[in-house]
Amino acid sequence: MNQLGDKYSEEKNIELLKSSLDGNKDALNKLVKIHRPYIFNVAWKFTFDPQDAEDLTQEALIKVITKLSQFKFESQFRTWLYRIVFNEFLLSKRRKGDKQFTDFENQGKRLDSIENATLDESEEKEYEELAKELRYRCLSGMIMCLTREQRLLFIVGETFGVDHNLGSEIFGMTKGNYRVKLHRARKELINFMQQKCGLMNPKNPCRCGKKAKTMHKNGHLTEDQQFFNVGYKTKVADYAFQNSELVADIVDKKHLELLRDIPAKDDFSKETIVEEIIGSNELLDFFELN
């Protein structure tokens, strides 16, 4: 379910919130589970690394739980919740992805340093899955080259398709400022893709399959090291608006298709510290949720 799209139910969220504030652990758990997939998948694109994304998701959800009793029912719950979540993202510590992907210039040099190996027809098939993994990594790495604010605005506004009305509310800025900042982030990313990505411009020499062969032979890309192309059926597109006028009017469809084809995770069966908090009467009392 897209928590920010047409299927979102403010009434259902408020119902679960009120029940949570009355001490209903099941309602609190349901509220967390509604929003966790979206938060994780934005965090994944924001950090590049799935484990870092899991850690950041837990930190954001814990922050939300500690503040639930402060919600005044004077605004939409989703606006209030995601403002807390995304502020936590922006203020979080620097992680591996921040240090690995510093800017577009270095990303370009990194791509240029990987040889475009020769591929025959049988090898194109052989390296097809690894090429997908490399493409997802490369696209995600490009997003990482934006500043933190640009990155988050782009992920939320373009990749996940949140329109300027809701986006400006969540980020606490005017619609005009939101549009300008989003445009700048988009322009930087698309300019780089046009200059380097062979999928966007056939004149560019970069080819995912050829570079995947080189990285595989060097031991830097193997079948058991994949963390994007791991069989998830859900795609970022499943979380995106279908009627975002900003995206439809301005963004080149091919760029958008590539970015929204990146896998997304929707299976969260593993128990985490958030579930432990929900199960603790002492902690819920402390956060005024009991």
pLDDT for residue 91 is more than 90: yes
Instruction: Give the separation between CA 51 and CA 219, rounded to whole angstroms.
Output: 21
Residue 235 has phi, psi (to 5 degrees) of -120, 160
Q: Please name the residue ranges forming H helices in the chain.
A: 10-21, 25-47, 50-67, 77-91, 96-100, 104-112, 121-126, 128-144, 148-154, 164-171, 175-196, 208-217, 245-250, 253-260, 273-278, 281-286
Please give the residue that has the higher pLDDT: either 247 or 56.
56
Is the pTM here over 0.95, yes or no? no
CB contact set of 260 (below 8 Å; sequence gap of 6+): 159, 161, 235, 236, 237, 240
Please give the residue that has the higher pLDDT: either 143 or 229.
143
pLDDT for residue 290 is more than 90: no
Say what the pLDDT of residue 243 is.
44
Q: Hey, how many other C-beta atoms are within 10 angstroms of the C-beta on 94? A: 8
Say what the pLDDT of residue 263 is.
75
**pLDDT for 180-197, tens place per residue?**
999 899 899 989 999 999
Say what the pLDDT of residue 51 is.
92
Tokens describing residue 63: 């922050």
Average pLDDT over residues 104-130: 91
**pLDDT for 68-86, tens place per residue?**
999 999 989 999 999 999 9
pLDDT for residue 275 is more than 90: no
- The lowest-confidence range among 45-59, 172-186, 192-206, 257-271 is 257-271
pLDDT for residue 242 is more than 60: no
Say what the pLDDT of residue 6 is.
63
Please give the residue that has the higher pLDDT: either 283 or 212.
212
Confidence class for position 283, pLDDT limits 50, 70, 90: low
Percent of the chain with pLDDT over 70: 82
Cβ–Cβ under 8 Å, residues 250 and 186:
yes
Average pLDDT over residues 98-113: 93
pLDDT for residue 200 is more than 80: yes
Say what the pLDDT of residue 225 is.
80
Closest listed residue to residue 197, CA positions, set 128, 131, 255: 255
Confidence class for position 274, pLDDT limits 50, 70, 90: low
Q: Please name the residue ranges forming H helices in 22-117.
A: 25-47, 50-67, 77-91, 96-100, 104-112
Say what the pLDDT of residue 227 is.
78
